[in-house]
Amino acid sequence: MKIYDVVILGAGASGLMCASHLNKRLSVAMVDTNPKIAQKLKISGGGKCNITNVSVSEKNFDGDGEFISSVLDSFSKEDLLEFLDRNGIKPVVRKNRYYFCPHSSDEIIDLLRKKSRHVEMLLNSEAIGVEKKDDLFIVRAKKGEIKAKKLVVATGGKSFQNLGASDIGLKIAKDFGLKVREFSPALVGFTLQKDQFWMKSLSGLSCEVKIKVGEKTINEEMLFAHRGISGPAVLSASLYWQKGSLSIDFLPNEDILKLIKGSKKLISSVIPLPKRLSKEILKALEIKDMECKKVTPMIKSKLKSMHNYEFAPAGNFGFSKAEVSRGGVICSELNPQTMESWHVEGLFFTGEVIDVTGELGGYNFQWAFSSGVVCARGLLSVL
Ligand SMILES: Cc1cc2nc3c(=O)[nH]c(=O)nc-3n(C[C@H](O)[C@H](O)[C@H](O)COP(=O)(O)OP(=O)(O)OC[C@H]3O[C@@H](n4cnc5c(N)ncnc54)[C@H](O)[C@@H]3O)c2cc1C
């Protein structure tokens, strides 16, 4: 049986970036459940893939800050943009923040495919388990056993199982005695408790809000959905929400007391939000719509809660809707210079399978790419 220098489990963003940076003299195989590579890259960012962000630091991630910044320093946002530029891709900036593929995610997928031409793609082959015998890794996959000197686990998180996602990475880590944090859904919408069911009636509407969750404040758009609330603000908030309450400012750029001052109009008419939304918020705050000039001090104080409407979500939409999975292999188990396990020689992890989760806005791909390159360099240093 052939013994590969490197076997990479998972032909997603991180595994492909790692493969692209490996030397052609090495024999490398990639194993993936899917019949095609890079399925998440393909559909992400509405098919245009939000690759990275104009501002990237360890503060944009949930995880071990020192570990994250070491990896990001080794292959930064600038390095990523330079790599893409060198290969003919000039990402465009949207909303002054987000870098997207100029036309389609296929541009970056084609680049990674081209750069991984030397790699044997073992697709349609789910990995089931791994053991190590006599310094060799033996991967048990649906299509048979594969042997490797070095093993890279790049199997991502558990979200979107219809795209091949699984928690095999955590199983492998645990089988080798590494510490892990179980996956939980993140960058996901919230379901609501009965008192907030009024929001469901607004399904389809969106507005700019400020959400405070724990120590974090997020200014972005929120979307009312039939199952609860979603949109960029909520997805980002979900990364920091641990059960308990959060608060929403529905008028982040206004002062409700100034808006109603001296006006003869109805309260709902001076609130600069869609009328349906203003009316539902007033109802939820138990305020009768009335002429602004008739507003009493007691009503004023109720109106102020439009700036900090506090409630506890019931839960979230689950793994099937979550863009990422929080949790993974604990950072302290890995060498941030190489992504190799400190305790199991030759075993590497990269991408979302590690306990590092980025905010919404291109951070998760940046992490997948940075850790993939660091892993490739780690492999090259020992092969
Ligand atoms: C709908 C959606 C939109 C997103 N949009 C963005 C975005 O715009 N910007 C951003 O930064 N992030 C985005 N993300 C998150 C981003 O896709 C992931 O964080 C990133 O792909 C992680 O890269 P990875 O290589 O670690 O894992 P993945 O890209 O998930 O790759 C893992 C690979 O492992 C394979 N695999 C899993 N289990 C097995 C097994 N047992 N055997 C063999 N193969 C296996 C999978 O099939 C997959 O190909 C989005 C995610 C989703 C779901």
Q: What is the pLDDT of residue 245?
A: 95
- DSSP assignment, residue 359? P
CA of 351 to the centre of ligand 1 (A): 9
Q: Nearest C-alpha to atom 4 of ligand 1 is from which residue?
A: 44
Task: Say how far apart CA 121 and CA 189 lie, in whole Å.
Answer: 35
Task: Say how far apart CA 325 and CA 358 lie, in whole Å.
Answer: 10
Positive/negative CA dihedral, 234, 236, 237, 239: positive
Could you give the angle at the alpha carbon of 155 between the alpha carbons of 75 and 327, nearest 5°? 80
Q: Which residue among 61, 364, 366, 374 has the greatest number of ligand 1 atoms within 8 angstroms of its CB, and so is best to mutate?
A: 364
Run of H or E residues at 218 = strand 216-224
Residue 34 near ligand 1, beta carbon < 6 Å: yes
Residue 165 near ligand 1, beta carbon < 6 Å: yes
* In contact, 157 and 13? CB cutoff 8 Å: no
Closest ligand 1 atom number to CA of residue 12: 31
DSSP-derived secondary structure for 122-167: E-S--EEEEEEETTEEEEEETTEEEEEEEEEE----SS-GGGT--S
Tell me the HSE value of 169 on the side-chain side, using a 13 A CA sphere: 34
- DSSP assignment, residue 97? T
Q: What is the pLDDT of residue 243?
A: 87
Residue 31 near ligand 1, beta carbon < 6 Å: yes
Task: Say how far apart CA 118 and CA 220 lie, in whole Å.
Answer: 43
Query: What are 291's strand-pairing partners?
Result: 266
Question: Within the chain, which residues score under 50 in pLDDT?
Answer: none
Q: What is the pLDDT of residue 96?
A: 93
Residue (of 137, 201, 141, 204) closest to 175 by Cα position:
137
Instruction: Reduce the DSSP state of residue 121 to 3 states and report it.
Output: strand
Distances (CA, A) of 250 to 189, 255, 265, 276, 328: 17, 10, 20, 13, 34
Task: Say how far apart CA 365 and CA 50 lie, in whole Å.
Answer: 8
Run of H or E residues at 115 = helix 106-115
Task: Say how far apart CA 373 and CA 16 lie, in whole Å.
Answer: 10
Closest ligand 1 atom number to CA of residue 157: 30
Residue (of 348, 350, 351) closest to 365 by Cα position:
351
Instruction: Reduce the DSSP state of residue 53 to 3 states and report it.
Output: strand
pLDDT (tens digit per residue) in 286-320: 999 999 999 999 999 999 999 999 999 999 999 99
Closest ligand 1 atom number to CA of residue 100: 8
Residue 32 near ligand 1, beta carbon < 6 Å: yes
Task: Say how far apart CA 141 and CA 235 lie, in whole Å.
Answer: 34
Tell me how far the alpha carbon of residue 30 is from its chain's centroid.
23
Residue 168 near ligand 1, beta carbon < 6 Å: yes
Rg (CA), the chain: 24
Structure tokens at 26: 């090495």
Residue 341 near ligand 1, beta carbon < 6 Å: no
DSSP-derived secondary structure for 225-292: -SSEEEHHHHHHHHHH--SS-EEEES-TT--HHHHHTT--SBHHHHSSS-HHHHHHHHHHTT----BG
